[in-house]
Structure 1
């Protein structure tokens, strides 16, 4: 049973990946309802936090129902990262996570995220500074390496463990791959086979079904699985995987009432947390995902994304329930 410090996660935890512009408190709420065992904030810029930038500070918001919850930080300056870990710890998370895996240009090309995979000594110094700056457990999320010629995750795992991290999540791609091609879990399995490794190792990348989760659990021996893109519009995936592990059978696909209930909770929380205008605007990206696979949904989607009136959207969700309960147009995921 993997532990992170004094945090007990259960026999085989399922983690919600930190995703920019996705894994905010409203999205985390529906994932927690549906079986996510450990969740993380969206990644927070250390420079933004030091400057007291409103967007960065807002991402520190966490709620009791979310526990255990980690705040994820990224940055390129060692002292700034250490200072930000202290600020983040004051927000009351259960752990601090360092992002050494983000591949996007405006992060990696500024020396943060996956860029640190090109400078392991600096990565080690930065991690050690963060570990020393807080009494909370520190974890790391990273990738296999910068490119296929410089896959260095085995060295990274050992060195970061030796300076005090308490868990490591590895995405099975290099930075150059971005999110293309298949994730390669072979190296993740080799980390688990390393007799020197004592901390929990979580695998990430391409887990989009209960069958694949079980296959990768058994093949690579990881201590848990982190799920990212497959949870968008499908928060039920966590409980689906858990049920499959226990029974070998599939849970019924979510019906229209379950989909609308999840979307409605997400919408309500989004408006309460962000305000009417921003809360409604940022929900637009989620409507298609919650109702993926429904025949004749396009007219509803167009109306949902065009409206910025909360009551109108609530009424449309009621209309969607009525339409798909009374017709032959419902297709389960």
Structure 2
């Protein structure tokens, strides 16, 4: 996978399913990730895990993000991912969610570096596709575990390391520390992807200039704004800012998202999940609060289309 112009969608639980990934790829994300998948669940073929690894060919290149703390299971799950057709395997060692951390997974591995190293080595040796690693700045302020993890990733020949500039204790509050991203980039030869507080093309170019990172992963900045990827790419290539999408394009994309979600999950669940996305698409519009209240009452595709039609009018 080429290292140039890497600007892509971050994996986000409950958000980056096939529907959102399809739209993000169409609008310029150079790569997409599954929601994080439990390695054990994937090997046990649980319904949830099998649903999470479903993808469309038009989403490629696509990465499978795995979490877990058993090196053998992680390696076996990575092999299952390769057999399922994924182009890349990403190791999650940064998720701050309590239910993940309490099992020793996600960001908890930043406090168990020997185990983290074994997992990295086991997975990298098990598969032929690129393997990447996603971590946080540390467990808490002053923690330098990210340097050890970057060293392990480099020694194992991982494709890149993604660094989110917040500690586990911060969760998603406060400001992301981009200096740590630059410090990792300056200290190692492995490519470094920056993550945290990129809300638009000016943030993207500033992160790349300040940290010298090799690419940018965008998470919450893409919610309701999948155009952020083409805007960032255009600005990097031309130095010019693209205007925001017109209302008709936002509506068209929102309706396409709705259709993809319903195809993926059925009408009842698809419409319920679409409520948050539709609210994100139109949160900057006049009357957004009232619109959100209407959106949150929708139970069918018909209901959702009727509410969205009011925007067009």
Is 1:229 aligned with 2:223?
Answer: no
* TM-score of the two chains, using structure 2 as the length reference: 0.96
Matches within 5 A, 1:93-104: 93-104=86-97
Which ranges in structure 2 are unaligned for 5 or more consecutive residues?
Answer: none
**Residue of structure 2 in register with 1:148 after alignment:** 141
Q: Secondary structure at the match of 1:215?
A: helix
1:62-101 to structure 2, matched below 5 A, reads 62-101=55-94
- Within a 5 Å distance, the mapping from 1:281-292 to structure 2 comes to 281-292=272-283
> Structure 2 residue aligned with 1:293, among 261, 278, 284?
284
Preserved CA contact (<8 Å) 1:154 1:187: no
Matched pairs, number: 313
Compute the TM-score of the two structures, normalised by the length of structure 1: 0.90
2:249 alignment partner in structure 1: 258
Note if contact 1:151-1:174 (Cα within 8 Å) is conserved in structure 2.
no
> What does residue 329 of structure 1 align with?
none
Deviations 1:45-77 (A, max 9, x none): 112212221111111112211111100000121
5+ residue gaps, structure 1, are: 1-6, 323-333
Pairs within 5 Å for 1:41-80: 41-80=34-73
Q: Distance in 2 between matches of 1:187 and 1:300?
A: 40
Q: Which residue of 2 aligns with 1:308?
A: 299
Q: CA RMSD in A?
A: 1.4
Q: Find out whether 1:205 has 2:199 as its counterpart.
A: no
1:264-275 alignment to 2 at 5 Å?
A: 264-275=255-266
Q: Cα offset for 1:96?
A: 0.5
**Structure 1 residues 298 and 146 mapped into 2: Cα distance closer, same or farther (>3 Å)?**
closer
- After superposing on structure 2, the runs of 4+ consecutive aligned residues of structure 1 that deviate more than 4 Å are none
- Aligned residues of 1:117 and 1:123 also touching (Cα < 8 A): yes
Residue 299 of structure 1, CA deviation: 4.0
Indicate how the Cα distance of structure 1 residues 246 and 137 shifts in structure 2: closer, same or farther if over 3 A, else same.
Answer: closer
Q: Secondary structure at the match of 1:173?
A: strand
